Amino acid sequence: MTSTSSISPLIQSLGEIPPEAVVFGRSDAMQALRNRMDKVASANVPVLIHGESGTGKDIIARMIHGLSPWRTGPFVKVNCPAIPGTLLESELFGYEKGAFTGAYGTKPGRVELAHRGTLFLDEISELDLGLQSKLLQLLQDGQFCRIGAQEDKKVEVRIVCATNRQLEVEVEAGTFRQDLYYRINVVNLFMPPLRERRSEIPDLVDYFLQFYNRKFNSRARELSTELMTSLQKYHWPGNIRELENLIKRYVILGNEDVITGDLVTREQEYFNPDINLDGPISLKKLTRQATRELERKVILKVLQAHHWNRKQSARALSISYRALLYKIRDAGIPTNRSTRRRLEPVPNQGAAAD
């Protein structure tokens, strides 16, 4: 068995969960989510939480743990994309002494550390097919095998997974096992994006304002009605995380103009249609062009930010590596270094290549 000293560093601290009234707000969608979560938390079945990045999947996973019969047990989070592929197997399942070069001792994996607790697998779509089958075995009979071990071990663990991808699409593409998808998806919790629950924005703003005023010992004032109205109109691609960061900046800088300016820039980046009012307008065509153009800009920005490392960029964009390669080709973004350099300033590039 594992010693307590080897367990503690790996177990994520639970951090601060906002009050329930803040987490679920008042929208129908969130109330429905709460009912579903309450029902499922006490039953030991796998749960799949899906929704865009920043919608609160981590918080819900921790709440499920807090409401489960194993709430006094460990909550172990594994952020799948953060651990390089080859390490992930040993992190998850552990290894025996001598299993590979450098395995000088025995090490329990996080699956084992989550015994009688919750194992939270974040960004589950990042598991490769080999690890997916090991996970399937764990879900089927509670058994797994440390790397280099002769025998399987048994563990009792509640598995909660999260993803911001459409796993059905990954299944279709053959990158995610269908049988595993059914196993982890016994109960599905969908986190609505913030733009679909705008009515909650004022309460969230109040909460973050109080929270960061307390944290930074500040006295930032309530937001003006105008700014609150703009916040409610904005489309929040980064969801609650984006809103939280905006308020944090406001509290630190103590100046509304900064966030008003920020919002205007962000809006312009997203909605800047080039409409010719002299002729007939095809809304469908314009929307398609705008989407492609936006995709192209975002991909380019992310590629530049990751020094053109496509694997990292795919992760940052929450799409598969293959999907990114396809989109790069589709958007006519050159992968060759010299052509790329010419492209960097991107003045007015016109319609993307077909």
Ligand X SMILES: Nc1ncnc2c1ncn2[C@@H]1O[C@H](COP(=O)(O)OP(=O)(O)O)[C@@H](O)[C@H]1O
Judge whether 104 and 62 are in contact, CB under 8 Å.
no
The set of residues, in sequence order, having a beta carbon less than 8 Å from that of 132 and lying 6+ positions away, is: 176, 177, 180
Instruction: For residue 28, count other CB atoms closer than 10 A to its CB.
Output: 10
Asked if 201 touches ligand X (CB under 6 A), the answer is: no
CA 309 – CA 91 distance, rounded (Å): 24
Which residues in the 16-45 window bind ligand X by CB under 6 A? 18, 22-23
Taking residue 311's Cβ as centre, other Cβ atoms within 10 Å add up to 12
Residue of 33, 37, 55, 247 interacting with ligand X (CB under 6 A)? 55
Give the Cα-Cα-Cα angle 118, 122, 124 (nearest 5 degrees). Answer: 110
Report the nearest approach of Mg ion to the CB of residue 187 (Å): 18
**Radius of gyration, CA atoms only, the chain:** 23
* 240 interacts with, out of ligand X, Mg ion, none, CB within 5 to 8 A per kind: ligand X
**Minimum CB distance to ligand X, residue 205 (Å):** 11
Q: Write down the least CB distance from residue 30 to ligand X, Å.
A: 8
Q: Indicate which single residue of 33, 40, 41, 58 sits in contact with ligand X (rule: CB under 6 A).
A: 58
Residue of minimal Cβ distance to ligand X: 56
Total residues belonging to the chain: 354
**Based on CB atoms, which residue is closest to Mg ion, 15 or 350?**
15
Q: Which helix (H) or strand (E) holds 79?
A: strand 75-79
Tokens of 21: 């009234």
Nearer to ligand X, 22 or 99 (CB): 22
Binding mask 227-256 for ligand X (x = CB under 6 A): -------------xx--x------------
Dist CA 44 CA 341 (whole Å): 54
Q: Which is nearer to ligand X, 52 or 91 (CB)?
A: 52
Kindly tell me which residue out of 59, 189, 201, 231 binds ligand X, with binding defined by CB under 6 A: 59
Q: Quick one: what does residue 118 bind among Mg ion, ligand X, none, with the CB cut-off 5 to 8 Å set by partner type? A: none
> Does 289 interact with ligand X (rule: CB under 6 A)?
no
Contact between 65 and ligand X (CB under 6 A)?
no
Could you give the CA distance from residue 63 to residue 86 in angstroms, rounded to a whole number? 31
| Other beta carbons within 10 Å of 113 | 20
Look at residues 311, 33, 296, 52 and name the one whose alpha carbon lies nearest to residue 165: 52
Give the nearest distance from C-beta 297 to ligand X in angstroms.
22
Note the residues at the interface with Mg ion (CB under 5 A): 57-58
Of residues 112 through 141, those in contact with ligand X by CB under 6 A are none
What is the rounded CA–CA span in Å between residue 318 and residue 163? 9
Q: Which is nearer to ligand X, 131 or 204 (CB)?
A: 204
193 part of the interface to ligand X, by CB under 6 A: no
Can you give the binding site for ligand X, defined by CB under 6 A? 18, 22-23, 51, 53-59, 204, 240-241, 244
